[in-house]
Structure 1
Amino acid sequence: MLLISAGCFLLFGNRFSTLSAQIDFSHTSIPIADEPATVYARKRRRGKKKQESQDVPEVAADYSRFSSNNQRDESIDQQQQKCREHASRLGHTIIPANEFEDRAVSGTKLERVGLNEMLEAAKQGRFNVLYLYSLSRLARESVITLPILKKLVYVYGVRCICVTEGIDTDTTGWEVIAAIFALIHEQFIKDLSAAVIRGQEGALLSGYSVGDWCFGYGSEPVSGSEQNRAGRNSKPRKIYVINQEHAEWVSQIFTWYVDEGVSISQ
């Protein structure tokens, strides 16, 4: 049995050597092992545009987004500033007309005004390098992030650079890195959502208000409760209270419906 196995390995080795000797790697697109994997060592795949990067002037743009009204507008300015700084280090200049943004829009939504404007500009060829402060600014769902990213790169011929993750679509293997980070960003928003629900449930069980209330009720802050909350601008918790102006109407409606049998249409 040992002799048979050794013979098989020997036969396979000879066959592989023969095939390897017959292949002329100088005429293939397979990268040579000792070729440096830098942004200038490899041609970008540009979909229908087959030109090399040095044949096309590089025009840069950026896209920024924040997802909640609770976040500050300065978040957009900070993202854009970081993108401009990174672009400057790579020899690019981003003009205001090529800065796209979405304010207070969730990254789980596909339809966004700023995103659509950016994609249309890319389609028209107004820019061919796109800076993102983070891949999560593009989207928070991997099924949205990756198709958009690949459309930008392979259909519109746009080089995409993510500042915080170090993703550059001019480098080999960027698809793997982008896929990993897209999943990480997606999981983050799911974990955050679960944490918010747990917090609201705990607050409700403790007798605090967690949002809207029924007709006849309102809410009022609990003095000193903000000291037990995390965050720089912590607000006091609120409790449900009866709205005295509406209380009489609640009692009257109850009497009409229960005691007198008056229907809603009446």
Structure 2
Amino acid sequence: MEIEEPGVLYGRYSSHNQKDISIEQQFEKCYELAAEYGIRIIDTYADRAVSGRTDKRVDFQRMMTDAAKGKFRYVLAWKSNRIGRNMLEALVNEARFQELGVRVLYVEEDFDDTAAGRFAARSMMNVNQFYSENMAEDIKRGLYDNAANCMVTNGHLPYGYKADDTLHYAIDEPKAAVIREIFTRVSCGEAFVDIMSSLNARGITTSYGRPWGRSSFQKILSNERYRGIYIYGDVRKEGGIPRIVSDELYFKVQEAITTKKNPQGRHRVNGDYLLTGKLFCGHCKSPMTGISGTGRAGKLHFYYVCQKRRTEKTCHKKNVRRDVIELKIAKAIRDYALKDDIIEWIADSCVEDHDRRVSESHLSVFEDQLAEVNRSIKNVMSAIEKGIITETTKGRLMELEAERTAIEGKICAAKAAIVPTNRERLVEWLRSLREGDVHDKKYQAGLFDTFLVAAYLYDDNRVKIVFSFAGDKNTIEIPLEDVIDSIDDEASCVRLSSTLSHQKHRIRITFLMRCFFS
């Protein structure tokens, strides 16, 4: 060409192919080709660590925009697979350039603008497409082979895990302790915002090194890998990776985040409705939800209203003041659930449940197996120290070490499923709850989260309370007047008739124990 035409360079580098030529090397070759053709390079475009199998490339799209503006006449690339490994995409892109009066030249593939040249270009694109698809199949096959052996595959490891020397999952204990803490605190009803503040205050960061946010917990809490399930694509293997939390704790958390109205704990300007999800209309059994309204004097009031009455106008349940009913139910829970005989019964049930879990965990059996394996390892090491180094001794040592790792994993899982129990401390904690200020909202929330399953409110000044700590007969019904009369007189004690204190029930132990011992 007698007059230099304007042209640009395009380079792409895929991080998945480490043998690929670098963008700088691509541009070096392209500049040589430009000098040979007499093309004046006016700009360069580069997409780093981006696959060519998609056109969602920032600089590629910028180049197409500039081509439409007529800024250049030539695009120089190292190979045709820079434009797109998929043949259809490459052909479409070349056609787009051609429509804009732009010609594409390749350093390593000298295709002239003739029928034969275009045929050669199309053939090379077919080869590139085959290479791309074949490589993708090989990678996918390799990943699924790894998955069949419960090995770490591509992707970010969940917080609390690391890869061992054999590329299998291993517990990263400091981070695993954070995972157990998060699950335990959520199971006890603590809001995400409070857990977030606590972790950030202690300088604990996420797996990406960033501070925790309210949205950090949803993915963690729904990840079944933490209960020992290996998951990759459609591969799912129970016990395929070391367990961090017990099944009981995991499912308790699922219940908490699905039944609690505001698990993230985004505190409202006018305060939380603490009984949301737990207060129901005694007449139609619909949930009672929080609303607010302004009185004649301009004062803002907060109420619970029957949802069916609010939406369908088919229930006659009257609205009830938020602060009044929350105070009454909190007082009823404190005076019933924290009586001496109930506290003693809860403590005894916790001890019984702990003993049962220990006996069912086979922990002592695993510990005996571990001691036996350690003795065998010591014997093999003694033989090696004496100079008996053979393929048999080395193989046996590797077998024993693998067996020891497996047993240690079983011991960790068994211990994680057992909540520590100290009867005296539990009794002391439950008794200390009686000393709380029943007018304090945080104290009320603690009582509701720990002891209350549901409360059914009727218009004849009575409420039916369903507690979390008793089995089938876990309900009491009380007149609200008794509570009203005693709220302002803390010296008086409400005498609630108990139909439960002398009966045997199955307690929902783990929830109470984790709330205390976490």
TM range (shorter): 0.5 to 0.7
User: Cα–Cα, structure 1 residues 253 and 58, in superposed 2: closer, same or farther, change >3 Å?
Assistant: same
TM-score, L = length of structure 1: 0.62
SS in 2 for 1:94: strand
Partner deviation per Cα, 1:120-152 (whole Å, 9 max, x = no partner): 222222221221100000111122111211221
| 1:201 lines up with 2:144 in the alignment | yes
Q: Does 1:190 align with 2:190?
A: no
Deviation at 1:259, TM superposition (A): 8.0
- The 1:258/1:116 distance shift into structure 2, 3 A limit, reads closer
What is the aligned partner in structure 1 of residue 421 from structure 2? none
Give the deviation of 1:254 after TM superposition. 2.6
Residues 176-226 of structure 1 deviation map (CA, whole Å, 9 limit, x = unaligned): 22221222111111111111112222233344311457867512331xxxx
For residue 72 of structure 2, the aligned residue among 127, 137, 149 is 127
Give the match for residue 167 of structure 1.
111
User: What is the identity, as a one-letter code, of the residue corresponding to 1:89?
Assistant: E
**Are the equivalent residues in 2 in contact too, given 1:217–1:240 (CA < 8 A)?**
no
1:65 partner letter: R
- SS of the residue corresponding to residue 241 of structure 1 reads strand
| Structure 1 residue 67 displacement after superposition | 2.5
Larger Rg: 2
- 1:68 corresponds in structure 2 to 15
Q: Distance in 1 between matches of 2:76 and 2:157?
A: 46
Q: Which amino acid aligns with 2:39?
A: H
In the aligned structure 1, how far is the partner of 2:57 from the partner of 2:45? 11
Give the whole-Å Cα distance in 1 for the aligned partners of 2:150 and 2:245: 27
CA contact (8 A) 1:159 1:168 kept: no
| Counterpart position of 2:26 | 79
Would you say the 8 A contact 1:257–1:263 is kept in 2? no
Q: Unpaired segments of 5 or more residues in structure 2? A: 184-225, 227-243, 261-518
Is 2:68–2:100's contact at 8 Å kept on the other side of the alignment? yes
Q: Matched residues in 2 for 1:121 and 1:260: separation? A: 53
Q: Which amino acid aligns with 1:242?
A: I
- CA distance, structure 2, for counterparts of residue 63 and residue 200 of structure 1: 32
CA contact (8 A) 1:67 1:104 kept: yes
Q: Name 2:93's counterpart in structure 1.
A: 148
CA distance in 2, matches of 1:261, 1:130: 55
- The answer as to 2:247 corresponding to 1:254 is yes
5+ residue gaps, structure 1: 1-52, 223-236
The question of whether the paired residues in 2 share the 8 Å contact of 1:128 and 1:159 is answered with yes
- Partner AA of 1:85 in structure 2: E
TM-score after normalising by structure 2: 0.34
Task: Give matches, 1:207-246, under 5 Å.
Answer: 207-212=150-155, 218-222=161-165, 237-244=166-173, 245=177, 246=179
- Count residues in correspondence: 195
Give, in angstroms, the shift of residue 74 of structure 1. 7.5
Asked if 2 retains the 8 angstrom alpha-carbon contact of 1:84 and 1:93, the reply is no
Percentage identity across paired residues of the two chains? 25
1:139 lines up with 2:84 in the alignment: yes
Q: In structure 2, how many angstroms separate the alpha carbons of the residues matched to 1:115 and 1:141?
A: 15
Q: Structure 1's 58 and 70: CA in aligned 2 closer, same or farther, altered over 3 A? A: same
Aligned residue among 173, 176, 184 for 2:119: 176
1:160 is paired with a residue of what secondary structure?
A: strand
**Partner amino acid, structure 1, of 2:169:** Y
d(CA) in 2 for partners of 1:92, 1:58: 5
- Tell me the C-alpha RMSD between the 2 structures: 3.2
AA matched with 2:109 = E
Q: 1:219 to 1:103 in 2, by over 3 A?
A: same
Give, as a single letter, the amino acid of the residue that structure 1 aligns with 2:132: I
